[in-house]
A and B are shown apart, each in its own frame.
Chain A
Amino acid sequence: MIPEFGHFSLILALGLSVALAILPALGVYRRDALLMQTGSSIATGLFVLLAFSFGCLVYSFTQDDFSVAYVANNSNSALPMHYKVSAVWGAHEGSFLLWTLIASGWTLAVAIFSRGLTFDMKARVLSVLGLLCAGFASFLLFTSNPFDRNLPFYPADGADLNPLLQDFGLIVHPPMLYMGYVGFAVPFALAIATLTTGRLDAAWARWSRPWTNAAWAFLTIGITLGSWWAYYELGWGGWWFWDAVENASFMPWLVGTALIHSLAASEKRGVFKSWTVLLAISTFSLSLLGAFLVRSGVLTSVHAFAVDPTRGVFILVFLILVIGGSLALYAWKASGIRSDAQFEWTSREAMVLTNNLLLVVATASVLLGTLYPLLYEVMTDGKKISVGPPYFNRVFVPIVCLLFVAMAVSPFSRWRRTSGDILIRQHWPFLLATPIVISLVTYVVAAGINFITIGVETLAVWILVLLARHWWQAGSIRSASQLGMMLAHTGIAVAILGVVVTTTYSEGRDVRMNPGDSIDLAGYEFIFEGVQKVRGPNYLADQATFNVTRDGEFVANLRPEKRVYSVGQNVMTEADMDPGLLRDVYVALGENVGENAWAVRIHVKPFVRWIWLGGLLVAVGGLVTLLDKRYRRIREVAGRPLVGTVA
Chain B
Amino acid sequence: MKFGRMKNHRRNRLLIIVFIVCAAAGATTFTLFALNENINLFYSPEQIVKGEAPVGKTIRAGGMVLDDSVIRYEEGLGMSFVISDLKSAQVKVEFEGILPDMFREGQGVIALGQLNDEGLFVAEEVLAKHDENYMPPEVADALKAANQPNANMLDKAGYE
Contacts and interface: CB of A to CB of B under 8 A. Distances in A.
B132 A510 contact: no
Contact of A300 (B30, B75, B131, B137): B137
A384 B62 CA distance: 11
25 contacts: A302-B130, A306-B133, A372-B35, A372-B39, A376-B39, A382-B141, A384-B41, A384-B138, A385-B40, A385-B41, A387-B35, A388-B39, A388-B40, A388-B112, A390-B37, A390-B38, A391-B39, A394-B34, A510-B96, A569-B132, A570-B102, A590-B99, A591-B98, A594-B74, A599-B99
A570 B102 CA distance: 7
Interface residues on B, range: 35 or more
Contacts of A236: 98
A386 B77 contact: no
A394 B34 CA distance: 7
Nearest to A388: B38
B121 to A, nearest CB: 16
Contacts of B37: 390-391, 394
A593 B72 contact: yes
A394 B31 CA distance: 9
Interface stretch (A124-132, A145-153, A361-369): A361-369
Interface string A570-612: 1111000000000000001011011000010100000000000
Highest count of chain B CB atoms <10 Å: which of A388, A390, A510, A570: A388
Interface in B13-44: 27, 30-31, 34-35, 37-42
A342 B133 CA distance: 60
A45 to B, nearest CB: 38
B35 A593 contact: no
Contact of A599 (B30, B98, B133, B138): B98
A512 B96 CA distance: 11
B41 A512 contact: no
A114 interface: no
Contacts of B35: 368-369, 372, 387, 391, 395
Contacts of B79: 593
A568 interface: yes
Contacts of A162: 130-131
Interface string B38-61: 111110000000000000001010
B76 interface: yes
Nearest to A165: B130
Contact of B99 (A388, A390, A511, A591): A591
Contacts of A385: 39-42
A164 interface: yes
A391 B130 contact: no
B105 to A, nearest CB: 13
Contacts of B40: 385-388
Given A384-B42, A590-B98, 20 more contacts: A164-B130, A234-B130, A300-B137, A372-B35, A376-B39, A385-B40, A386-B60, A387-B35, A387-B39, A388-B112, A390-B37, A391-B35, A395-B34, A510-B96, A512-B75, A570-B101, A570-B102, A590-B77, A591-B98, A594-B72
B130 A601 contact: no
Interface in B74-122: 74-77, 79, 96-99, 101-102, 112
A365 B79 CA distance: 37
Contacts of B132: 568-570
B110 to A, nearest CB: 9
A510 B40 CA distance: 25
Contacts of B141: 382, 384
A610 B76 CA distance: 34
Contacts of A510: 77, 96-98
A383 interface: yes
Interface residues of A, number: 40
B77 A593 contact: yes
Contacts of B31: 365, 368, 395
Most chain B CB within a 10 A radius of its CB, from A300, A384, A512, A573: A384
Q: Is the interface of B mostly helix, strand, loop or mixed?
A: mixed
Nearest to A361: B27
Nearest to B134: A306
Contacts of A300: 136-138
6 closest cross-chain pairs (CB), A and B: A391-B38, A590-B98, A384-B42, A571-B101, A385-B39, A394-B34
A572 B103 CA distance: 11
Contacts of A383: 41-42
Most chain A beta carbons < 10 A, residue from B77, B96, B97: B77
A248 B74 CA distance: 43
A419 to B, nearest CB: 20
Contacts of A361: 27
Contacts of B129: 302
A414 B41 CA distance: 50
A386 B42 contact: yes
B101 A572 contact: yes
A593 to B, nearest CB: 5
A234 B130 CA distance: 9
A568 B31 CA distance: 43
A387 B38 contact: yes
Contact of B77 (A387, A511, A588): A511
A265 B27 CA distance: 27
Contacts of A569: 132
Nearest to A298: B137
Nearest to B99: A591
Contacts of B41: 383-385
Interface string A68-108: 00000000000000000000000000000000000000000
Interface string A366-409: 00110010001000001111111011001100000000000000
B76 A512 contact: yes
Interface string A558-572: 000000000011111
A399 to B, nearest CB: 8
Nearest to A164: B130
Contacts of A593: 72, 77, 79
Nearest to A573: B101
B61 to A, nearest CB: 12
Contacts of B77: 510-512, 590, 593, 599
A591 B138 CA distance: 26
B23 to A, nearest CB: 9
Nearest to B12: A345
A369 B39 CA distance: 9
Contacts of B96: 510
Contacts of B137: 300, 384
A386 B102 contact: no
A395 B36 CA distance: 12
Contacts of B98: 236, 510, 588, 590-591, 599, 601
A383 B59 CA distance: 12
B53 to A, nearest CB: 12
Residue with the highest number of chain A CB atoms closer than 10 Å, among B38, B41, B75, B138: B38
A341 to B, nearest CB: 16
A323 B76 CA distance: 54
Interface in A483-520: 510-512
